[in-house]
Amino acid sequence: MNENSDKKEIFLIALMVILALAATNLFPFLMPSMIQMTIALLLLLIYIIFSIFIWREKAKDEREELHKLRSGKTAFFAGSLVLILGIIYGIFNHNLDIWLVGALVVMASAKALSLYKNKIEN
């Protein structure tokens, strides 16, 4: 990974976070629905661009590969923890959002299938 690519990824992550927070629409009188739709579209486009960066990323040596693996593990842990906390919160409020459960199932299944595929190939 080169430093320029890292800066682009960090910029895209920051932009995604800002747009996602803006989409929460904490002050509805400040954001008409057309602006919300535009934010949703921009958020999707930035996520697609960010995903392309992640997919094309190649490590130059073992150290960079280890950094990539550790950051992926940390991201998986953080994402699954937030989903689990959301599921527990939904259960206690008797208002469980099925999207939380679906996202956790997809994440865990993708992890398991990826591990299985890599063991077969290597």
* H, E, C per residue of 3-20: HHHHHHHHHHHHHHHHHH
User: Using N-to-C axis directions, what is the helix angle for 3-23 and 33-56, rounded to 10°?
Assistant: 150
pLDDT beyond 70 at 85? yes
Number of H helices, E strands in the chain: 4, 0
pLDDT band at 2 (very low <50, low <70, confident <90, very high): low
112 vs 68, more confident:
112
Which pLDDT does position 92 carry in this prediction? 92
Same domain flag for 45 and 73: no
Same domain flag for 67 and 120: yes
Which pLDDT does position 6 carry in this prediction? 73
Which pLDDT does position 87 carry in this prediction? 94
Same domain flag for 52 and 66: no
Question: Which range of residues forms the domain containing residue 23?
Answer: 1-58
d(CA 89, CA 45): 30
Same domain flag for 74 and 122: yes
Mean pLDDT of the chain: 84
Which pLDDT does position 118 carry in this prediction? 86
Domain boundary among 11, 30, 58: 58
Same domain flag for 80 and 115: yes
Which pLDDT does position 31 carry in this prediction? 63
pLDDT beyond 70 at 38? yes
Same domain flag for 15 and 35: yes
d(CA 75, CA 22): 22
Domains in the chain, number: 2
Same domain flag for 116 and 79: yes
Against a cut of 0.75, is the pTM above it? no
pLDDT band at 54 (very low <50, low <70, confident <90, very high): confident
